[in-house]
A and B are shown apart, each in its own frame.
Chain A
Amino acid sequence: MSFYDVIEKIDIDKFINIVDSRKDADVEKALTKKEPLGVDDFAALISENARKHYLKDMVNISTQLTRRRFGRCVNMYLPLYLTNLCSNKCVYCGFSVMNKFRRVVLNLTQIDEECQEISRMGYKNILLVSGESERRAGIDYFKEVLPVVKKYATYLQMEVQPLSVDEYVQLKKLGLDAVSVYQETYHKEFYSKVHLGGKKADYRWRVETPDRLGKAGIDKVGIGSLLGLYDWRADLCSTALHILYMREHYWKTNLSVSFPRLRPAAGGFEPKLPVSDAKLLQIICALRIFDNELDLTLSTRESANFRDLILPVGITAISAGSSTEPGGYAHKGENLEQWTVNDDRTVDEVVSAMESCGFEAVFQNASTTFFSAV
């Protein structure tokens, strides 16, 4: 059994109507319910009526819930792009195999160089990102990379191609703590229209990844959809369903959710239904209220002003001073970025802004693994 068995039975377009038909009474019910919330409650929280009549309440409630659960601590992580080599044909991504640019796969020396720079910036929580290339950056590559990065990171995350249970188990032994795999869109038919080639075209393999991560015992799993790619109402409700599924089947696994908004990339893809700032704020509140324990991550895709505004409302992890090009910390500007960074403040500037609002930037995250491979 996997989440695929759940989602393939559903016509997620039905969620669109459910969201649009939610009334004030539905929103109030979702906001005052004592029992666990369902997808219909989540739909109410992301509805237009919720935005128009309850957003202020939602901001308050979300802020309180986050404070109670996480205090004033926000985790700082930094992405380290290992490669921009990708064998997939995703129409919305700068790294698509269809785009012509210099492809790079960092070697261990270059990775070590990047890590040194990352350490100088103060980071100990590193997110390894790569394009998807089984051939040149597959499990064997990762098994070599992890020990190098682990020298500098106390918390190690990855956002790479979906791997098998066994491969995750191997990486866990090398110190892997968390893995993010975003479904981009849960709409099976639309998914096949925007993922034209490569292993990523396999909807089922991708959507079953969180299950495999749960089975491998990875400490934290990150899920989410690319907002603006398809209809965010359908995709967010599907994400809510995925959250419920993961909580039900993998009670020992932490969950993190991200809400990347489609940004300009070399491919030039325009969002079908853009998500406004107001809507994104509402979505963050909705997620926090829907599941109090979620880790909510905000990247530098969003502008400085907007990040400062919404951080207190529900965010538990952010990056700052990020680069989305391989080798971008030691040698900026030599390679293609996956997407353009919006908040380009330095990490010190971001930490300063946080501290002036009474928040503590946490760099040191103890690793979750007690035993590491010799």
Chain B
Amino acid sequence: MKINYNGSTIEIKDNLTLHSFVLELQLESRTIAAAVNEQIVPKKNWEKFYLQEGMTVDIFNLVAGG
């Protein structure tokens, strides 16, 4: 299915959890936060959160700057 990730439309497999999605992107060790349809999804809920068709997923990181 198609989702919007960080501004681009990508194809992902069905029944993918947010947790698995993050693992696939190899981001699990970084200090990140995720928002789906502009709502932050707490880390503790990632394993139960299933991505759906058309969702907008944004992942944010802490970087040098300010």
Direct A–B contact in complex, judged by CB atoms less than 8 Å apart: no
